[in-house]
């Protein structure tokens, strides 16, 4: 059990938070005194006061009578234009600044660039930068920040090269912005290499002591999936704050290393006494618990969130809903949602995807309609969640209508993810020709996700022709992904095309690709245990194996027949059966039978799709041992009870 230290909550400073405005002045203080109305210092102060009270139009009237506006007056006016989201007033102010000769003031130039960025007028921001003759590092940084936040990462890196060529030294903020620029658009390999170059610059200039730079570096590597690089940077950080701990936890949680995320959280709780985990930290921890189906640890984290008063933060609540659903406790997730006083689209998405994961497609559709009825506009992710729910439940016609309504009723253009959902929806229902037609008629490049959905469907229905077409494109798009080769080999094996199986396996060997090992996790008494599909040291492994052999023999008498076709090797049946008994989910099930009490549910998470034999085996086990077993594979939840699976053998 974790012992949580709860220091007094503190509000960490934010680089991008706007400064807190001073309290409003009483209205009487704005009454113009004729005796001082022509006094420049007092008029400047009155303009600033009007801005701070939100009376921007009156401030502009007064500005027209002021012959000598101060730099501070212009600064406050700039901030007010951005705050009131008025582009027309911003452009008028910019003209006034230019007419008064302040358009070359580096300080005001940076403020103008930031103002236009806040008003989503990047063209105006670029023009300000282009017309500035003396560009200080602050001017460059202002444009870098504006472009990075808008997703123009490659443009930032091009400007950064130009800045380096003219010999202007970077400061610590420059490095933060250009690192973020590396992941502002698509995470391409070339941009990763640029990020590594910037990392080298940082080390060369001795800036590794700045925590915000190193935290951004951790996040940059995390976004590219370079977990080892991110971990190395984090371990070398001389100083860490709650943001850097959270960044590393998010890196682990989002890159398939939930164990490491939870371990790092424990380490943080022990090491940090001056700063407590914030809402961002807790979202990553909940994601790790969800990935492992670690229900008991998730409940402990939930209790800590309640003690820290973070249960009113919307992203935390959404993560809680998802965590409980992915741990098999859908009702708890629903209960949290029902108690929410305020809900955003992310909260609705969490609930919709939760029901979809459990195979309740019609319920997911019902929640979607309720969301629309309550006036919440769906996001692109909403449609990914609902289409996924339709796919798991076989709701083909409903999914097709939903897909058509995206653009017509909600103005959302389908992305690669939406097309992948549609291909999966049709493919699972064995409407593979329709799925292929959707790909042919796409107006955007299908990409690996779409072709991967088609290949996965071909694996379910053993369609060799379409599988070869899909795998041909995938080998081009993802040459280093062993999973695509394995899927094609599976399809050839089921079709008994053994020469082709050997050919694909040879390709794997010649390209030095390793298939992802099957791994399963199980939580017993708040501790996580991991099993992989090979022999591994475990204090109970002999007991587990003997139990599996005994159960398999007894279940054969009750009708269980091992599905040895999933073994791709040309071996005799007894050897294939031995290999099947070594699958990670069977090892986890046996471990759960040995170490859980009567009536206690066994909860297992699998990193790959549940194979047909393990699915059949677990159905028999649930009836044979009168045990409730929950298995979440990479696609969905399987709720085994009394010899029946909730998926209805459709997964």
DSSP letter for each residue of 374-389: TTPPPPHHHHHHHHHH
Distance between CA atoms of 635 and 40, rounded to whole angstroms? Answer: 69
DSSP 8-class letter at 100: T
What is the token pair recorded at 553?
Answer: 């023999």
The residue with tokens 């029902």 is 338
- Is the model's pLDDT at 122 over the cut of 60? yes
Of 301, 377, 303, nearest to 343 by C-alpha is: 377
pLDDT at residue 94 is higher than 60: yes
The pLDDT score that the predictor gives to residue 67 is: 87
Stretch 531-559: mean pLDDT: 84
Compute the CA torsion angle 72, 78, 82, 88 (nearest 10 deg): 160
Q: How would residue 23 be classed by pLDDT, with cut points 50, 70 and 90?
A: very low
Show me where the domains of the chain are located. Answer: 519-645
Q: Quote the pLDDT of residue 400.
A: 96
What is residue 536's predicted lDDT score, i.e. its pLDDT?
58
Q: What is the structure's pLDDT at 568? A: 72
CA-based angle 423:424:425, to the nearest 5?
Answer: 90
DSSP helix/strand/coil, 637: strand
In the predicted model, is pLDDT for residue 531 greater than 60? yes
pTM of this structure: 0.80
**How would residue 571 be classed by pLDDT, with cut points 50, 70 and 90?**
confident
Eight-state DSSP code of residue 16: T
Tokens at 129, concatenated: 């930068």
Per-residue pLDDT tens for 171-228? 999 999 999 999 887 667 778 989 999 999 999 999 989 999 999 999 999 999 899 9
Structure tokens at 411: 């103005």
What are the pLDDT digits (tens) for 381-434? 999 999 999 999 999 999 999 999 999 999 999 999 999 999 999 999 999 999
Which pLDDT belongs to residue 6?
35
pLDDT (average), residues 608-630: 93
Identify any residues that bridge with 523 across adjacent strands, giving them in sequence order: 528
Residue whose token pair is 């107006």: 443
Distance of CA 632 to the CA centre of its chain: 19
- The whole-chain average pLDDT of the chain stands at 89
pLDDT tens per residue across span 467-491: 999 999 999 999 989 999 999 998 9
Calculate Rg over the CA atoms of the chain. Answer: 30
pLDDT above 90 for 621: yes
Query: How crowded is residue 231: how many other Cβ atoms within 10 Å of its Cβ?
Result: 19
pLDDT score of 539:
72
The sign one gets for the Cα dihedral 10, 12, 17, 19 is positive
When pLDDT is cut at 50, 70 and 90, the band that residue 546 belongs to is very high
pLDDT reading at 19 higher than 60: no
pLDDT recorded at residue 42: 84
Q: 166 pairs with which residues across the strands?
A: none
Q: How far apart are CA 412 and CA 267, in angstroms?
A: 43
- Over pLDDT 90: what percentage of the chain? 72
- 88 burial type by CB count under 10 A (0-12 exposed, 13-18 middle, 19+ buried): exposed
Q: What is the arithmetic mean of pLDDT over 545-571?
A: 87
Q: What does the pLDDT read at residue 470?
A: 96
526 pLDDT more than 90: no
Residues counted in the chain:
651
- pLDDT tens, position by position, 625-650: 999 999 999 989 999 999 999 998 88
Q: Which residue has the tokens 């794997």?
A: 508
Worst-scoring range by mean pLDDT, 146-160, 187-201, 305-319? 187-201
**d(Cα 627, Cα 541) in Å, to the nearest integer?**
21
- Say what the pLDDT of residue 274 is: 64
On the question of pLDDT at 110 being above 60, the answer is yes
Can you give the pLDDT at residue 11?
38
Banded model confidence at residue 30, pLDDT cuts 50, 70, 90: very low
Q: Taking 80 as the threshold, does the pLDDT of residue 20 lie above it?
A: no
First to last CA, the chain: 36
**Whether 358 contacts 636, CB under 8 Å:** yes
């Amino acid at each position: 059990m974790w012992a949580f230290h709860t220091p007094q909550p503190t509000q960490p400073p934010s680089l991008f938070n706007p400064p807190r405005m001073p309290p409003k002045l009483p209205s009487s203080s704005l009454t113009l005194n004729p005796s001082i109305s022509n006094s420049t210092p007092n008029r400047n102060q009155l303009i600033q006061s009007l801005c701070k009270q939100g009376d921007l139009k009156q401030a502009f009237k007064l500005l027209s009578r002021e012959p000598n506006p101060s730099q501070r007056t212009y600064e406050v006016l700039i901030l007010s234009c951005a705050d009131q989201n008025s582009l027309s007033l911003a452009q008028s102010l910019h003209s006034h600044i230019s007419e008064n000769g302040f358009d070359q003031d580096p300080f005001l130039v940076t403020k103008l660039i930031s103002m236009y960025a806040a008003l989503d007028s990047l063209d105006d921001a670029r023009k300000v930068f282009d017309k500035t003759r003396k560009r200080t590092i602050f001017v460059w940084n202002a444009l870098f920040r504006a472009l990075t936040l808008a997703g123009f990462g490659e443009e930032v890196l091009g400007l950064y090269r130009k800045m380096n060529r003219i010999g202007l030294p970077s400061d610590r903020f420059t490095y933060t912005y250009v690192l973020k620029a590396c992941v502002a658009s698509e995470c391409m390999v070339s941009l990763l290499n640029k990020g590594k170059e910037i990392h080298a610059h940082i080390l060369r200039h001795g800036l590794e002591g700045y925590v915000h730079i190193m935290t951004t570096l951790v996040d940059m590597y995390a976004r590219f999936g370079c977990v080892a690089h991110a971990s190395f940077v984090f371990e070398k950080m001389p100083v860490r704050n709650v943001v850097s701990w959270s960044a590393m936890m998010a890196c682990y949680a989002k890159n398939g290393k939930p164990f490491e995320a939870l371990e790092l959280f424990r380490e943080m709780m022990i090491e940090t006494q001056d700063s407590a985990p914030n809402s961002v930290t807790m979202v990553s921890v909940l994601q790790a618990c969800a990935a492992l189906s670690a229900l008991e640890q998730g409940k402990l984290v939930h209790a800590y969130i309640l003690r820290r008063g973070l249960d009113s933060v919307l992203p935390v609540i959404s993560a809680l809903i998802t965590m409980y659903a992915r741990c098999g406790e859908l009702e708890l997730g629903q209960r949290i949602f029902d108690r929410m006083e305020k809900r955003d689209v992310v909260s609705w998405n969490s609930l919709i995807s939760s029901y979809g994961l459990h195979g309740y497609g019609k319920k997911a559709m019902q929640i979607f309609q309720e969301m629309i009825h309550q006036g919440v506009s769906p996001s692109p992710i909403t449609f990914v969640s609902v289409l996924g729910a339709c796919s798991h439940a076989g709701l083909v016609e409903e999914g097709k209508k939903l897909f058509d309504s995206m653009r017509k009723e909600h103005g959302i253009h389908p992305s690669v993810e939406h097309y992948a959902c549609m291909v999966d929806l049709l493919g699972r229902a064995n409407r593979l020709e329709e799925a292929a037609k959707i790909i042919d008629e796409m107006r955007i490049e299908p990409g690996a996700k779409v072709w991967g959905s088609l290949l996965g469907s071909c694996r379910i229905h053993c369609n060799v022709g379409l599988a070869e077409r899909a795998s041909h494109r995938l080998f081009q798009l993802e040459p280093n992904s062993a999973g695509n080769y394995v899927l094609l080999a599976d399809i050839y094996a089921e079709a008994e095309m053994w020469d082709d199986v050997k050919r694909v396996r040879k390709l794997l060997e010649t390209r030095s690709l390793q298939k992802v090992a099957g791994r399963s996790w199980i939580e017993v008494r708040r501790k996580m245990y991991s099993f992989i599909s090979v022999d591994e040291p475990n204090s109970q492994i002999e007991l587990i194996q003997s139990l599996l052999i005994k159960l398999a023999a007894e279940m054969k008498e009750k009708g269980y027949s091992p599905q040895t076709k999933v073994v791709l090797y040309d071996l005799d049946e007894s050897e294939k059966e031995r290999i099947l008994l070594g699958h990670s989910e069977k090892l986890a099930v046996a471990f759960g039978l040995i170490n859980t009490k009567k009536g206690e549910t066994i909860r297992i998470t699998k990193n790959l799709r549940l194979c047909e034999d393990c699915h059949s085996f677990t159905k028999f086990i649930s009836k044979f041992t009168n045990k409730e077993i929950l298995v979440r594979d990479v696609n969905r939840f399987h709720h085994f009870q009394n010899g029946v699976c909730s998926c209805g053998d459709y997964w």
